[in-house]
Amino acid sequence: MSGHAGLAAWYAYMAGGGDPQALKALLAEDAVFHSPVVHTPQEGRDKVFAYLHAASHVLGGENFRYLREIVDGDQACLEFASELDGIHINGVDIIRWNEDGKISDFKVMVRPLKAINKVWEKMAAMLAAQAG
C-alpha cells in the first residue's frame, strides 16, 4: 500500500502476528488511544500498547483485512473489515505519527452497533487476561 515508513511498520506489525516488542517500538512515549467503546482517551505508551496489543489479537488474524487507505502527510485513515463470532465488523483506524515516525495518536471507530458490542465483549476479556 503506502510508502509512508510509519504506516509500512504498522502493516508489518499486523501481518507479523502481533509481536509485542514490535508494537512497543512503534509507539511514542506520549501516545494517545481513542477506543470505540471507552469514552476517555487512554494516554501513555503502556496504556496504548495494552489496547492495541489486545485489539490486534481480538480483531486480527485470518478474517482481518485492510480495505483502503487515505494518507495525508503524517496521518492516515485505514478502513478495515473483520469477523467475530459470525458478526461482520467494519471500521477505521485513524493514525497520526510524530516527527520521529512513532505513533502519537490512534483512534478506532467501528460499525455496526452489534459489531461494537462484540468488540467490547472480546476486548474486555482480552484486557482482563492481560492484566492478570
Range of the domain at 76: 5-131
Number of independent structural domains in the chain: 1
Residue with cell 501513555: 44
Question: Cis bond leading into 112, ω under 30°?
Answer: yes
Q: At residue 115, does pLDDT exceed 80?
A: yes
CA atoms of 56 and 15, how far apart (whole Å): 10
pLDDT at 122: 85
Per-residue pLDDT of 43-92, as tens digits, reads 999 999 998 988 888 887 788 999 999 999 999 999 999 998 999 999 99
Per-residue pLDDT of 19-39, as tens digits, reads 889 999 999 999 999 998 888
Q: Taking each helix axis as running N to C, give the angle between helix 45-59 and helix 113-131, from 0 to 180 degrees, rounded to the nearest 10.
A: 120
- CATH number assigned to the domain comprising residue 80: 3.10.450.50
